Amino acid sequence: MSIAELTAVHEDPDARVTVLDEYAKREIRRAVLTAVAVPGYQVPFGSREMPVARGWGSGGLQITLAVIGPDDVVKVYDQGEDAGVNAANLRRLIRSAQGVATTTDAREATVIQTRHRVPEDTLGEDQILVLQVPVPEPLRGVERDMHRLRQMHAEGDYARMWVSLYEDLVRNGVITRTTGYPCLVGGRYVIATTPIPRWDVPPLHRAAFLSLFGAGREKGI
Amino acid sequence: MGYVAARGGLDAIRAAEELTRRRRAEAASPWLELDQITERLPLAVDRVMSEGGLWDEPSAARALRQADGDLIEAAHLIRTYRSTLPRLAYSEVADADDLDVLRRIVPAYREPPGPQLLGQTPDYTGRLLDRSAEDGARDAAAQAAATRVEAQHRAVAPEDGPRVPGRLLDVLRRSNLAVDRRRADDPTPVDITRVPARPGAGRSARLAVMARAETGALVQLWYRNILGPDNNLHEVTLGEVRHGRLGVAVRHPHIDEPVTIGHVRVTEVEAIEDLNGSDEDRTKFDVGYGLCLGHNERKAIAMANLDIAVERAAPDDPLEQSIVMTTDGLDASGFLEHLKLPHYVTFRSMVERKTRMRAVADEPTPRPEQMT
């Protein structure tokens, strides 16, 4: 096979807007499978540069593009808004890249990409929630060094997180964490729940739907 | 909660795009051609290729034009283009000793192996803004080109064949003055586009990160270690500063032999550090390495200096994490600019906590069941 033959398919002018090559999608799906198998563990992956900037939902976008097929119906919303500018932009991008149907009704969607909210509708087992994650590391507030962070996760050593919550409660009378409330998943890994507000955290507990967290800039799923 | 979510939506986005298109269409001057950009703004093109991580001058020029001259945006376009392309093969390891130099200076040594070749540089040209009339400036440039210095011309003429000088480092090695840092624990260069670079990822990953890093980020980190609160750089002398052409070979799928498929221009720097730590071999020097696509000496020098600084730093020094995690231009700029996105819910949840805190503080004796 020649180089020309190998690249020909990628230069088809009639093809849809290409955002991610198929090998990348496969790589991301494999990372997603690992992440599902080890809940709460942050799986590193070769995060690609997307048409939206890092920090603008590039991680969620990569997951959505990797997991959807032609029959999917996609909802994208941002801080609870379907009409928000970034949601509209991402929805347009996903539609032009994958040719899928889109919706604003969470109940109709098979894949819901969200920034910082969890739908208030009850979702079912056949639905996937893709969360855009700006800061995936829950322990960064108590430890800056990445070697030590990795060690703390490996050993399940979350003492300093517990202490920080305790001190917060003692000093302020309430836990002042607003978004990204730390959660222990399946008794093993602590995760940051993206910056969803704390009132959106309970619906994630033993949810029927699958929640996938994509951090593009920090290259983790 | 009293916040009205400002809706922009698709119409506003389309209108913003239309404004950009209209400004381009209505500009009075002629459309910039790609060869004008590659020939007239070559250093900007080189920066986009280096920070974008792709060697292709026309694509970089196209990106620069589309990005209205914004280097980070242009690098973003190049990286995004890369994301659409399948990875079909890796090139063979290129030996930098084969670099065909266009410019080469050795600040550390008057008579190194091979020539000192000043080449093209503004280093010794007075930075005076040429305010002569356009016509006069063009005539002067044409005249200068007609009477060009013969030696300069010969330095870059292809008929001379490749110019591949030796290295000062070889002299130091022969004199047993250099620490041998060639090592076996990092044999295959880490592909940082497939395996995210994290602290501890190894030297090849760190070098790859810096090769794609934003120039200003590396310069800032370098200077921070000279004059700022960090203090990892002391007596660095440059051994080599080179700009030249390097062949790129891939293994042919049929005949299974390396075939040169093209050339890239790179800037290469070796930075010699005086080992003066109490636990270091004071009788020797150590050398840091920098190499990036295109002509960008500022970047390659900062890279070489930071490379050796990390090698010498204490294991718990934050420098490695700073380099690996904070120097990518797209990561930093994208995250900074994401602050422009609506944060209505995020902010509302902050207000909610403050209100709750105040409510709890106003209660005479908060009981545990209220502490939620």
Asked, for residue A123, whether it belongs to a domain, the answer is yes
Distance of residue A172 Cα from the nearest chain B Cα, in angstroms: 7
Q: Which chain A residues are Cβ-neighbours of B10 within 8 angstroms?
A: 88-89, 92
Asked, for residue A203, whether it belongs to a domain, the answer is yes
Query: What CATH number is attached to the domain comprising A24?
Result: 3.40.50
Q: How confident is the model at residue B137 (pLDDT cuts 50, 70, 90)?
A: confident
- Reported ipTM: the value is 0.89
pLDDT over threshold 70, residue A2: no
pLDDT over threshold 70, residue B354: yes
Q: Do B343 and A21 touch (CB under 8 A)?
A: no
Shared domain for A12 and A119, answered yes or no, is yes
Asked, for residue A47, whether it belongs to a domain, the answer is yes
Distance of residue B357 Cα from the nearest chain A Cα, in angstroms: 6
Shared domain for A101 and A144, answered yes or no, is no
Domain count, chain A: 2
Shared domain for A131 and A141, answered yes or no, is no
- Return the pLDDT at B153: 47
CA distance A59 to B151: 53
CB contacts under 8 A, B 325-354 vs A, are 325, 330-331, 333-338, 341-346, 348-350, 352-353
Shared domain for A118 and A199, answered yes or no, is yes
Shared domain for A126 and A69, answered yes or no, is yes
The interaxial angle of helices B297-312 and B203-212, nearest 10 deg, is 150
Which residues, in sequence order, are CB contacts of A135 under 8 Å at separation 6+? A180, A192, A195, A215, A218
* Full domain range(s) for residue A19: 3-135+194-214
CA distance A35 to A20: 20
Asked, for residue A118, whether it belongs to a domain, the answer is yes
pLDDT in tens, B34-52: 999 999 999 999 999 999 9
Give percent of chain B above pLDDT 70.
92
Residue to test with chain B: of A85, A146, A151, A194, most B Cβ within 10 A: A85
Shared domain for A89 and A167, answered yes or no, is no
pLDDT in tens, B159-195: 557 788 999 999 999 999 999 888 787 778 899 999 9
Q: Do A217 and B7 touch (CB under 8 A)?
A: no
Asked, for residue A91, whether it belongs to a domain, the answer is yes
Amino acid at A16: R
**DSSP letters for B176-225:** T-B-----SS--S---TTTS---TTS-HHHHHHHHHHS-HHHHHHHHHHH
Shared domain for A10 and A82, answered yes or no, is yes
Residue with tokens 């976008």: A61
Asked, for residue A220, whether it belongs to a domain, the answer is no
Shared domain for A76 and A93, answered yes or no, is yes
Asked, for residue A66, whether it belongs to a domain, the answer is yes
Shared domain for A121 and A147, answered yes or no, is no
Shared domain for A178 and A75, answered yes or no, is no
Shared domain for A7 and A106, answered yes or no, is yes
- Return the pLDDT at B159: 55
Asked, for residue A219, whether it belongs to a domain, the answer is no
Which residues, in sequence order, are CB contacts of B135 under 8 Å at separation 6+? none
Q: How confident is the model at residue A16 (pLDDT cuts 50, 70, 90)?
A: low
Shared domain for A39 and A141, answered yes or no, is no
